[in-house]
Amino acid sequence: NRTVRLASRPTGEPSAENFRIADEPLPTPGDGEVLLRTIYLSLDPYMRGRMSDAESYAAPVPVDGVMEGGTVCEVVESRSEALEPGDIVLAYGGWQTYVVAPANQVRRLDPTRAPISTAVGVLGMPGFTAYAGLLEIGKPQAGETVVVAAASGPVGSAVGQIAMVKGARAVGIAGGPEKCAHVKDELGFDAVIDHRDPEFKAKLKEATPDGIDVYFENVGGKVFDAVLPRMNTYGRIPLCGLVSQYNLTRLPDGPNRVPSVMQRILTKSLTVRGFIQNEFVKAHYKQFQADMAQWIADGAVRYREDVVEGLDNAPEAFLGMLRGTNFGKLVIQVGAD
């Protein structure tokens, strides 16, 4: 069994030295358990948080523990009546080629319904994050303007496209001309802006002539600074992620901006609501799966995957994602080493 373990906790930007790749004996399943072979490993920004022992909503990966992550796996050996060898399942198997899991903690997938990798992408956690955060908190109305950054990624791309399904105008923010072209031309956003453009602020203004009603926050930092003054009265900000800040070791230079941010929230009657997608699973996951499958079938929602081959390449691919080198939902195809 090949594993990727957390060798040490990073300070600031993580590096390859924070990971350790090892070959270990294959685990054996006990009663009610299954041995799974990983086919796809999902890499997601939240894993940066698991590398750190700062207080968070979930426990950190222990030093020397296997890195955590969602996986799509094949059942190799089963000691449960519920599953048999050859079944494809969604699991939380982590960064490793094989894992033993209780059969009742994995979900069987139907490979004839959708490509199995989508179970960790558009039809899985990131797609659901977009769906629940946008519809339950953002509540976009027809004709309103919805802005989202990391717009070519799995969360942002779904946010903009769901907003358009609801009749809103979608404005995406992405890094670089290639990603921007994809967001505008392939995903059909109404407008897109490159956050690296020196004219970013002016272009955001141009792209949002009627102001912004919903800002789905994925990145924070200078994107948030540019968006906030353009928020309309009663605007909503689902606070989903702050990926530009995950590697910060100290507060950014400059004056404390909390007072001016608070004042803007007050005077514009804004709703800023943080969330972790789990809180919506019980009430909304089933409907999400039906709606998203339908939107994909209709062509209303498109998705792009960035498939990197080989578990050994997971650390490098993960580090790149925090800087934006991924283009679409990042998954590792395991076993292709």
Binding site for ligand NDP (CB under 6 A): 44-46, 126, 129, 149-150, 152-156, 174-175, 179, 195, 218-219, 221, 223, 240-241, 243-244, 275-277, 321, 324, 326, 330
Alpha carbon 48 to chain centroid, angstroms: 12
Two tokens, residue 25: 């004996």
Rank residues 3 and 218 by Cβ distance to ligand NDP and give the closer one.
Answer: 218
Give the dihedral of Cα atoms 197, 238, 179, 120; nearest 10 deg.
150
Rank residues 232 and 325 by Cβ distance to ligand NDP and give the closer one.
Answer: 325
Q: Considering the complex, what minimum distance in angstroms separates the CB of residue 218 from ligand NDP? A: 4
Q: Considering the complex, what minimum distance in angstroms separates the CB of residue 27 from ligand NDP? A: 28
Rank residues 263 and 287 by Cβ distance to ligand NDP and give the closer one.
Answer: 287
Rank residues 10 and 153 by Cβ distance to ligand NDP and give the closer one.
Answer: 153
Q: Considering the complex, what minimum distance in angstroms separates the CB of residue 260 from ligand NDP? A: 20
| Contacts (Cβ under 8 Å, ≥6 apart) of 119 | 72, 90, 109
Amino acid at 270: L
How many residues are given for the chain? 337
Rank residues 29 and 160 by Cβ distance to ligand NDP and give the closer one.
Answer: 160
Identify the three-state secondary structure at position 248: coil
Picking from 122, 119, 165, 115, the residue whose alpha carbon sits closest to that of residue 142 is: 165
CA-CA distance, 61 to 48, in Å (whole number)? 10
Rank residues 103 and 158 by Cβ distance to ligand NDP and give the closer one.
Answer: 158
Q: Considering the complex, what minimum distance in angstroms separates the CB of residue 121 from ligand NDP? A: 9
Identify the three-state secondary structure at position 33: strand
| H helical segments located in 84-199 | 125-132, 154-165, 177-181
Element (H, E) at 213: strand 212-216
Rank residues 6 and 321 by Cβ distance to ligand NDP and give the closer one.
Answer: 321
CA-CA distance, 290 to 125, in Å (whole number)? 14
Q: Considering the complex, what minimum distance in angstroms separates the CB of residue 151 from ligand NDP? A: 7
Please work out, in degrees rounded to the nearest 5, the angle formed at the alpha carbon of residue 127 by the alpha carbons of 124 and 132. 110
Q: Considering the complex, what minimum distance in angstroms separates the CB of residue 261 from ligand NDP? A: 18
- Torsional sign, CA 325, 292, 57, 257: positive
Q: Considering the complex, what minimum distance in angstroms separates the CB of residue 123 from ligand NDP? A: 14
